[in-house]
């Protein structure tokens, strides 16, 4: 079992990240869909949807949404939100997507870069390309490698209720590794996250191999222009030729 399969299925993962800013996320998605000029009833895949917050909001905006995630526990939780235009399913993003042709695929909040092998990264782009309509959009919201390298915080402590998460970060080769250690009810736990520091060039090469064209890069969730030195995010907009 790979690290993300075990860690993402624990309640501790969701506890650690329960402070994520829903308002910021919803404002980002509102701006994003407006910029893409996606009309109501467009078909969108939320790839690596987690507990469905973005899928649900996209659906409220009037879109037909398919939320996909590797975590069975997350998808079981998401099923409560399903309706005629919002569906969730367990799916490994490396595998072909069995769905009607889509207008857009969103992969948000660093849900890429978990795989050790480049062949797996390429599989993601191929699966997305094949499920999109001609002219369809692929939004890959990723970390900015340069910004991460310059602003890494080696050690931090985060308190969530009675649990103290002790976190260390380091860069090893092409990866940023986050070690997460904590105790709960007298038992010690250790998990880690390992994300590849993909360069702009590497991401674009995967896209071009499939037949995508990168038409825009934003640098943050306010959709400001990307700055390689200072932007916290690298939000890629690809279009299927």
Whether the pLDDT of residue 63 is over 90: the answer is yes
How many of the other CB atoms lie within 10 Å of CB of 195?
Answer: 19
Q: What is the pLDDT of residues 99-158, one digit of tens each?
A: 999 999 999 989 899 998 999 999 999 999 999 999 999 999 999 999 999 999 999 999
Coil, helix or strand at residue 182: strand
Buried b (16+ CB within 10 A) or exposed e, 19-36: eeeeeebbebbeebbeeb
What are the residues whose beta carbons fall under 8 Å from the beta carbon of 206, sequence distance 6 or more? 121, 122, 124, 125
Would you give the end-to-end CA distance of the chain in angstroms? 36
Query: Which DSSP category does 48 fall into?
Result: T
Q: What is the pLDDT of residues 102-111, one digit of tens each?
A: 999 999 989 8
State residue 76's pLDDT score: 95
Q: What is the pLDDT of residues 187-220, one digit of tens each?
A: 999 999 999 999 999 999 999 999 999 999 999 9
| Paired residues of 171 in beta bridges | 176
Whether the pLDDT of residue 9 is over 90: the answer is no
How many of the other CB atoms lie within 10 Å of CB of 155?
Answer: 10
């Amino acid at each position: 079992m790979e690290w993300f399969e075990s860690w993402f299925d624990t309640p501790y993962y969701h506890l650690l990240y329960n402070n994520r800013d829903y308002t910021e996320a919803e404002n980002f998605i509102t701006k994003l869909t407006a910029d893409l000029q996606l009309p109501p009833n467009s078909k969108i895949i939320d790839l690596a949807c987690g507990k469905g917050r973005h899928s649900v909001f996209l659906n409220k905006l009037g879109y037909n949404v398919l939320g996909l995630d590797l975590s069975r526990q997350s998808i079981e939780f998401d099923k409560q939100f399903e309706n005629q235009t919002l569906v969730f399913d367990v799916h490994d993003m490396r595998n072909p997507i069995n769905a009607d042709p889509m207008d857009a695929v969103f992969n948000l909040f660093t849900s890429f870069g978990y795989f050790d092998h480049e062949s797996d990264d390429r599989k993601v782009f191929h699966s997305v390309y094949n499920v999109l309509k001609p002219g369809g959009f692929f939004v890959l919201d990723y970390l900015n490698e340069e910004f991460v390298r310059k602003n890494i915080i080696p050690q931090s402590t985060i308190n969530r209720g009675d649990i103290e998460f002790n976190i260390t970060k380091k860069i090893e080769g092409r990866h940023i590794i986050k070690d997460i250690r904590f105790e709960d009810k007298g038992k010690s736990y250790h998990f880690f996250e390992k994300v590849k520091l993909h360069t702009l060039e590497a991401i674009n090469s995967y896209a071009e191999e499939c037949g995508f064209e990168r038409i825009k890069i934003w640098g943050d969730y306010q959709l400001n222009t990307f700055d390689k030195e200072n932007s916290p995010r690298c939000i890629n907009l690809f279009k299927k030729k």
